[in-house]
Amino acid sequence: MQIHVVRPGDTLFDIARLYSLPTNILIQSNEIPNPDNLAIGQTIVIPIWGSYHIVMVGEDLTQIANTYNTTVSEIVRINGLKSPNAIYPGFRLYIPQKERLSVDVGAYIDPRMTVGTSGKVVDKVGDNLTSLSVFSYEANADGSLTPVVDEPSINAAYNHGVVPLMVITNFSEGTFSTELASTIFNNPSLQDKLLDEAIAIMDQKGYLGLDFDFEYLGAQNREGYNSFLRKASEKLKAKHYFISAALAPKTSDEQIGVLYEGHDYKTIGEIVDFIFFMTYEWGWSGGPPMAVSPIDKVRDVLEYAVSVVPKEKVMMGIPLYGYDWTLPYVQGGPFAESISPQQAIERAAQNGVTIQYDTVSEAPHYFYTDRQGKRHAVWFEDARSIQAKFNLVKELGIRGFFYWVLGNDFPQNWLLIQDNFIVNKRV
């Protein structure tokens, strides 16, 4: 597939003609929200098998072949060239489809966000998933679990050969609780009660694995969490269930902060089957405007992760959302609005602004002024930023990647999965 970036003067008809495709194919495959009003800088994924390269001034076939990890002879053959020198600036070359890597692809779903539509949300993307983590059963101080409406998600997962994972959190009264985690980790009987109840639910509802998302543990709970996961692993392995954990993004074991100190990458990597590394939220709703998942920061985390955790257990986190900040940003002021990539494109087009692309963070962004005269900054994900993350997955040779959170429209993402990878199915 090809990623086309809309230039000044581009129309959808012109773009379709450039790639010899019907206009409606581009509209349908990308679910283009603004076909008659494209935003400059907007990406459009061209659904072709392979891609095209337009020869630039000074380029030769050797350079082009190296760019696409192919050979000069293959480009000459596939394009029917008489010789390697039979090209010129502006010449269009077809580049064959690259080899696809087999990976695991996971996604979280929060039925509280997708009330009444959870099954449809999973149905839409389920063929591109290996696992579905249903967020979340909240642990209580008495060892019980507060349930979530999960049946539609589980049923849809099975319909698409997707492994349903039950998620347990230390979420209490709207936030992750250090105190709740301490209560559980310091009481073996509470642990047994919680795990036995979780396994009973899994047996009843058809879950095939248990995913622990315990956050803000602090240094005081580091060893307690390790011990708890060891106990959980013993119980789960006896039932042939998967065990996984979601961990905060660290770049060293000495990283300071209540979010980081309780997560022991190396030890947890020895216990669980795989780890969901939450490589997002650098740009967050309560912080200043910036990329949510900047590739340089993601790389730092994953390079540390693979130094202490087997690559076959490492899953990269990818956000299915961006943020719209009202400026000026004031610490402690109103939070940014969470928006989908589709909504971000719509707002850029509606306000007639150009989508810019930061090549360091590998992320699109723009500014606009609303009807009340207030300035806004928007950072989100597009086809280019997703492809950059996919390239990192291939470079590092990790197990795969996952998404937070289903329910945000981003059709280009799923097109690019199909172009880059073969999705493992484990049901």
For residue 238, pLDDT over 90 is answered with yes
Distance from first CA to last CA of the chain, Å, rounded? 29
Burial of 102 (0-12, 13-18, 19+ CB in 10 A): exposed
The model's confidence at residue 49, banded by pLDDT at 50, 70 and 90, is: confident
| Per-residue pLDDT, 127 | 98
6 or 86: which carries more pLDDT confidence? 6
Please give the pLDDT value at position 36. 95
For residue 50, the model assigns a pLDDT of 85
Q: At what angle do helices 295-308 and 383-396 cross, to 10 degrees?
A: 20
Give me the pLDDT at residue 122, please.
98
Alpha helices in 149-293 (DSSP H): 151-159, 178-185, 188-205, 222-238, 265-271
Which amino acid is present at 303? E
Contact between 314 and 244 under an 8 Å Cβ cutoff? The reply is no
Which domains, ranges and CATH numbers included, belong to the chain? Answer: 2-95 (3.10.350.10), 101-319+381-423 (3.20.20.80)
- Residue 67: is its pLDDT beyond 90? no
> Which positions are annotated as active-site residues?
215
Q: What are phi and psi of 135, to 5 degrees?
A: -100, 125
Whole-number pLDDT of residue 389: 98
Q: Residue 68: what pLDDT?
A: 86
For residue range 279-332, list pLDDT tens digits in order.
Answer: 999 999 999 999 999 999 999 999 999 999 999 999 999 999 999 999 999 999
Going by C-beta distance under 8 Å and a sequence separation of 6 or more, which residues neighbour residue 343? 409
Phi/psi class of residue 143: alpha, beta or left (left: φ > 0; alpha: ψ in -120 to 50)? left
pLDDT tens across 92-123, in order?
Answer: 999 988 889 999 999 999 999 999 999 999 99
d(CA 101, CA 86): 33
Residue 54 parent element (H or E) = strand 51-54
Instruction: Kindly report the length of the chain.
Output: 427
How much is the pLDDT for 363?
98
99, 93 Cβ separation under 8 angstroms: no
Mean of pLDDT values over 264-280: 98
Owner of token pair 């935003």: 39
**Count of CB atoms situated within 10 Å of the CB of 364:** 27
The span from the CA of 154 to the CA of 126, in Å, is: 11
Mention every residue, 6+ apart, whose C-beta is less than 8 A from residue 361: 290, 291, 294, 295, 296, 297
pLDDT score, position 69: 84
Assess contact for 170 and 181: CB atoms under 8 A.
yes
Q: Are 4 and 44 in contact (CB under 8 A)?
A: yes
What are the tens digits of pLDDT across the range 192-210?
999 999 999 999 999 999 9
Sorted by sequence, the CB contacts under 8 Å of residue 327 that are 6+ apart come out as: 289, 367, 374, 375, 376, 377
CA distance 137 to 148: 6
With a CB cutoff of 8 Å and minimum separation 6, the contacts of 274 are 104, 242, 244, 312, 313, 314, 315, 399
Q: Decide if pLDDT at 255 tops 90.
A: yes
Q: How far apart are CA 14 and CA 42, in angstroms?
A: 15
